[in-house]
Chains A and B, each alone.
Chain A
Amino acid sequence: MSSQIPSFFSNDIVLHVEGIRKVYPNGVIANDNVTLSVFKGEIHAILGENGAGKTTLVNIIAGCIKPDAGEIYVNGKKVNIDNPRTATKLGIGVVHQHFILIPALTVIENIALSLDSGFKLDLNKVREKILQISSLLNLKIDLNARIEELPVGLRQRVEILRVLCQNANILILDEPTSVLTPIEVEEFFRILRNLKEKGCSIILITHKVKEALSISDRITIMRKGKVIKTLTPKETNEEELTLLIIGEKQNSEFISLTEGNNKNKEILLLVNNLNVKGDRGELSVKNVSFSLYSGEILGIAGVAGNGQKELIEALTGLRKPESGTIIIRGENVINKKPKSLIKKGMAYIPEDRIGRGVILTMSIAENAILKIFEENPFSNKTIMNRNSITDYTQKLMKKFGIIAPNPNIEVRALSGGNIQRLIIARELSYNAKILIAENPTAGLDVRATDFTHRMLLDLRSKGMGILLVSADLDELLKLSDRILVMYNGKIMKEFNRNEYDIYKIARLMLGIEV
């Protein structure tokens, strides 16, 4: 056994993970030698940027994914958590980032579902148990309400009740506050403190520095899959934590960008007072206004889930905005369908390459012409011309370095980097003037990332206007002429290239006013 920690078998440690490592099939090292301990009755915050590996760690402890290396100890005993059931039995309760409640069922039915109640469903017994726990914690909730009728804050309460009913005494909450309003957050913290008093240990995953400071007993910072440090709120402050989260960055990293061609700039895209609702009906984009010029890369910085997705979907015609205007070359294109926006010269590299970017079960050629198959020579609008499609795709594959035996190979046989090349190739296939790139390098290896960056810079120099929406601050600083920081659906501030200040931007991204 590799344990060298003296207090290892201390009664106070309820959960200890040692040397956890997880490499995803695409090569991303999401957890690298992660070691941390959680004491009985403490609130332990795990703080880190998007992609730091927090959710991966949670999923490993919850038994949802298998680590490549490392050990987990619960109450001093080494355990093998190979599925979520085992975690539950060990008293580990997880509230995932994405809720797993069934909307059409009531609160009580949802909770009953997750309990091992044998063959016969005794709702009365479940009700008694819930009432017992909820009164203990002073949690109010209508047990007969259907989940779909409840606001997000209350749904979360149901999730917490659900894991408590499974007799969890180690509670893991993955980004629980990201869906809550400030008032709900206060109420939520009250519940956490209550739980703590009752002896529960709580792991609170968050990327919000302020929250971690205000609620937790100890804070562990993760960055790029590694644990950087564990400290108590008393011995640190916002400034230091922010630094630890984003890491050391050289300012020289982002001055190499050649000056854009400032002359003959024209406004390609003008967005005014745009309001867009999210999937849950909450306002996700709030009064956003900006303009995108030709020959520039305009970066949008922000932690995922702050309205970027909804903004992009409104711009590309995939989501109906509530109000505002989107003007492309003098015409208001709000409420236009994707097809007319494509015709207007809008290209889009989606983050979700597999779900939205390509059709995995269709060939490279079919994907390559997905946006232009109704044009000459690929078809005469009615009948497809397979030969010219194949010829075209062969040339495209050569030009963009897409490696595959032939154009009729299904896309699912390609690597992530090749799929990204294919998407870029397709998006450049119809002389678009505006390109929206959504986290274009997420999950790509170094080579593919470099290719993508070069491509974007090349397009910029050719006069394209590029909206680069990215959760990767390094990427934004390296590539963009201007950066808008988005937080909670609003544009917080605009930075010109000569004003870039990584800490200011990072703090704004985390919702800390400068």
Chain B
Amino acid sequence: MLRKQVTRRQLAAFCAALGLALALPGPLRAEDAARVKIDNFAFTPQDLTVKVGTTVTFENDDDIPHLVVATDNSFRSKALDTGDTYAFTFTKPGEFPYFCGLHPHMQGKVTVTQ
């Protein structure tokens, strides 16, 4: 919960500072990207909140492959071997629960806000 609040506050500050600049197309900024690490058969952070247009990169740090699948099938990675990454850009607001296609007890969620 704490993590989510901090992220929201940071985003609010960021939006206030940049105003309309955010809406303009341009090169990828660090703030438009987020990372989910896969480690010890778990997604970290398990709950991630991002703004519309954010590219989320999933990175597998385990010695076993994992596979990221949206519960609503809106995205699906290939099998990610150790060190492999999968990037997906969230273009619609909403909640996107996902799981590992190989180890379905592994679950996570990306919440996309306007």
The answer on A and B forming one complex is no
